[in-house]
Amino acid sequence: MRLILVRHGETMYNAQRRYTGQSDVPLNALGERQAAALGEYLATEHLDVIVTSDLERTRVTAEAIARYHGLPIHEDIDLRELAFGEWEGYTYDEVLARDAKLVAQWRADPATYAPPGGETVAQLRDRCAHALRNWQTQYPEASVLWVTHGGLIGVLLCHVLVIDLKRRWQFRHDNASISEMYLSGDRVTIVRLNETAHLRALRFQSEKIVELTKTNQEINDLA
């Protein structure tokens, strides 16, 4: 199976660096433009199956891709992000200020410790492993695209490469990025990781907007 992994476009929580987890936060304006750019970039890719987490930010990103391929979108709850429970909606510093001991335990051993009301990284690993078995069994020779979340992609890579889950942070997954692997039995080949070439124009536009905003502010300050 050829498995293409896409992270959803940016949300307000992503921009503010807040734990999102399974909170159903929609794409922001930049995230919508990222999803559109992603859809155009993948328009010529051969795809047999498109699968998404059931959360809105992934569904909308998947729709931007599917419109070029005439394929139905399958939802799989196993592709959801790690559940951060009571930490969702807060920044790391805010969580650290109120729950420092548990944060330290979670960072040291995320396979054992979970945020209050959330799940462990091992539980996320089990979920994505189950999804992988399911879709690989159904489509062993197909090109399958998952639209999912950064945490799940990092954990999946640790799983297929048989490395410690604590090393998931060594894999970067920007919003609307593309990664890809080939799976044949127990053999896994990583083909691309965190590809974002399709977003360069958006980054340039954002930088020009920021520059223009600063210039306008300077003019207003002098008025």
Q: What is the pLDDT along the chain (223 residues), one digit of tens a residue?
A: 999 999 999 999 999 999 999 999 999 999 999 999 999 999 999 999 999 999 999 999 999 999 999 999 999 999 999 999 999 999 999 999 999 999 999 999 999 999 999 999 999 999 999 999 999 999 999 999 999 999 999 999 999 999 999 999 999 999 999 999 999 988 999 999 999 999 988 865 554 434 434 444 444 444 4
- In this predicted structure, what is the pLDDT of residue 216? 43
- List pLDDT tens digits, range 165-211: 999 999 999 999 999 999 998 899 999 999 999 998 886 555 443 44
- In this predicted structure, what is the pLDDT of residue 186? 83
Contact (CB, 8 A) for 8 and 65: no
Give a yes or no: residue 201 inside a domain.
no
CA distance 20 to 31: 15
> How is residue 127 written in tokens?
């979920």
Give a yes or no: residue 8 inside a domain.
yes
Residues found in the chain: 223
Tell me whether residue 218 is exposed, middle or buried, using C-beta atoms within 10 angstroms of its C-beta: 0 to 12, 13 to 18, 19 or more. Answer: exposed
- In this predicted structure, what is the pLDDT of residue 211? 45
- In this predicted structure, what is the pLDDT of residue 201? 80
**Four-CA torsion 76, 32, 66, 79, nearest 10 degrees:** -10
Give a yes or no: residue 137 inside a domain.
yes
Give a yes or no: residue 208 inside a domain.
no
Q: How many other C-beta atoms can be found within 10 angstroms of the C-beta atom of residue 50? A: 22
Give a yes or no: residue 191 inside a domain.
yes
Element at 144 (helix H, strand E):
strand 143-148
The CATH number of the domain holding residue 66 is: 3.40.50.1240
- Catalytic residue positions, numbered: 8, 81
Give a yes or no: residue 190 inside a domain.
yes
Range of the domain at 60: 2-196
Contact (CB, 8 A) for 52 and 75: yes
- In this predicted structure, what is the pLDDT of residue 142? 98
- In this predicted structure, what is the pLDDT of residue 215? 40
Give a yes or no: residue 214 inside a domain.
no
In angstroms, how far apart are the furthest CA atoms of the chain?
68
Q: Determine how β-strand 143-148 pairs with β-strand 2-7.
A: parallel
Give a yes or no: residue 176 inside a domain.
yes
The pTM for the full model equals 0.89
What is the DSSP code (8-state) at residue 80? S
Q: How many domains does the chain have?
A: 1
